[in-house]
C-alpha cells in the first residue's frame, strides 16, 4: 500500500501500464480501474493478445517488418510488386504507408536512421540486407521514404551511395504541402520545396 493503490497486484499492473508510451501514472491508474471493471471483455483478452504477440511476432528475415510469419505477409503476397522496394525507418512508417494504400510493392525496414549524436552506424541498421536484396531480386526501383529530418536524409544519401553500383534506380517521396495543409502553418523549407517541385495546373 505504499502508494495507496490496492495491494501489490494492482500496484504492479499500474506500474507496468505507466511504462506504455502515452500513459502517465494518472492515466495508468484510470486504465487499471477500467480494465478491472471490464475484466472479461477487455482485461483477459488483452492479457491473451499480449502473450500471443510476445510468443508469435517476429521480424521478417527479408524486410524487417513485424509479423507472425517470416517472410512476412507483405513479402509473401503474390499481388505485391517485388521489383519495387520502399525503404522506411520503422515499422510504424510501413503501417502508415499501408494505411494510405498508395504502394503495392514491398518494403525494407531500417530500424532507425544513422545518427552521429546517438552513435548509430550503418552496421546498426538493416542496411546490408537491403543492398543484398537490391543486387539480386530483379529489383528495379528503391524508393527512399525516410523522414525529412537531417538524420533521415543523411541515411538516404548513405544508402544511395551504397546502391550506386547496382544499376537500380533510387527515388524519394516528393516534398510539398500536405493535403489539407495551410501555407501559414508550414515551415519555410516545406514551402520552398513545394515551390521548387511545382507542377502545371
157 binds its own copies (CB under 8 A): no
Q: Is 56 in the site for its own copies (CB under 8 A)?
A: yes
Indicate whether 13 belongs to the interface with Zn ion (CB under 5 A): no
Instruction: Select from Zn ion, its own copies, none the partner in contact with residue 98, using the beta carbon and a kind-dependent cut-off of 5 to 8 Å.
Output: its own copies
**60 vs 88, beta carbon nearer Zn ion:** 60
Strand-strand pairing, 141-144 and 169-172 = parallel
Residue 90 binds its own copies, judged by CB under 8 A: yes
Distance CA 75, CA 64 (A): 10
75 interacts with Zn ion by CB under 5 A: yes
Under the criterion CB under 8 A, does residue 195 sit at the interface with its own copies?
A: no
Residue 75, binding choice from its own copies, Zn ion, none, Cβ under 5 to 8 Å by partner class: Zn ion
**Residues 38, 45 contacting (CB under 8 angstroms):** no
Of these, 61, 69, 181, 197, which contacts its own copies (CB under 8 A)?
69
List 17, 32, 63, 144, residue binding Zn ion (CB under 5 A): 63
Chosen from its own copies, Zn ion, none, partner binding at 178 (C-beta under 5 to 8 Å by type): none
Which of 63, 64, 74, 142 touches its own copies by CB under 8 A? 74
Task: Write the secondary structure of the chain as one string of H (helix), E (strand) and C (coil).
Answer: CCCCCCHHHHHHHHHHHCCCCCCCHHHHHHHHHHHHHCHHHHHHHHHHHHHHHHHHCEECCCCCCEECCCCCHHHHCCCCEEEEEEEECCHHHHHHHHHHCCCCEEEEECCCCCECCCCECHHHCCCHHHHHHHHHCCCCEEEECCCCCHHHHHHHHHHHHHCCCCCCEEEECCCCCCCCCCHHHCCHHHHHHHHHCCCCC
Report what 151 binds from Zn ion, its own copies, none; CB cut-off 5-8 Å by kind: none
Contact positions vs Zn ion (CB under 5 A): 60, 62-63, 65, 71-72, 75
Contact positions vs its own copies (CB under 8 A): 1, 3-10, 12-13, 16-17, 19-23, 27, 29-36, 39, 42-54, 56-57, 65-69, 72-74, 90-92, 94-99, 101
Amino acid at each position: 500500500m505504499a502508494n495507496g493503490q490496492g495491494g501489490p497486484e494492482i500496484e504492479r499492473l499500474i506500474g507496468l501500464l505507466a511504462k506504455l508510451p502515452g500513459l502517465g501514472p494518472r492515466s495508468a491508474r484510470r486504465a487499471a480501474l477500467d480494465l478491472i471493471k471490464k475484466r472479461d471483455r477487455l482485461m483477459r483478452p488483452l492479457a491473451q493478445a499480449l502473450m500471443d504477440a510476445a510468443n508469435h511476432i517476429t521480424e521478417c528475415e527479408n524486410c524487417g517488418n513485424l509479423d507472425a510469419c517470416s517472410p512476412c505477409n507483405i513479402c509473401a503476397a503474390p499481388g505485391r510488386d517485388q521489383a519495387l522496394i520502399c525503404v522506411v525507418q520503422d515499422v510504424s512508417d510501413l503501417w502508415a504507408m499501408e494505411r494510405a494504400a498508395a504502394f503495392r510493392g514491398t518494403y525494407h525496414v531500417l530500424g532507425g536512421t544513422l545518427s552521429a549524436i546517438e552513435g548509430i552506424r550503418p552496421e546498426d541498421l538493416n542496411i546490408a540486407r537491403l543492398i543484398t536484396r537490391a543486387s539480386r531480386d530483379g529489383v528495379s526501383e528503391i524508393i527512399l521514404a525516410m523522414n525529412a529530418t537531417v538524420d533521415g536524409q543523411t541515411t538516404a544519401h548513405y544508402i544511395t551511395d551504397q546502391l550506386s553500383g547496382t544499376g537500380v534506380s533510387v527515388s524519394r517521396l516528393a516534398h510539398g504541402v500536405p493535403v489539407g495543409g495551410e501555407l501559414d502553418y508550414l515551415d519555410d523549407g516545406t514551402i520552398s520545396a513545394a515551390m521548387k517541385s511545382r507542377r502545371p495546373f
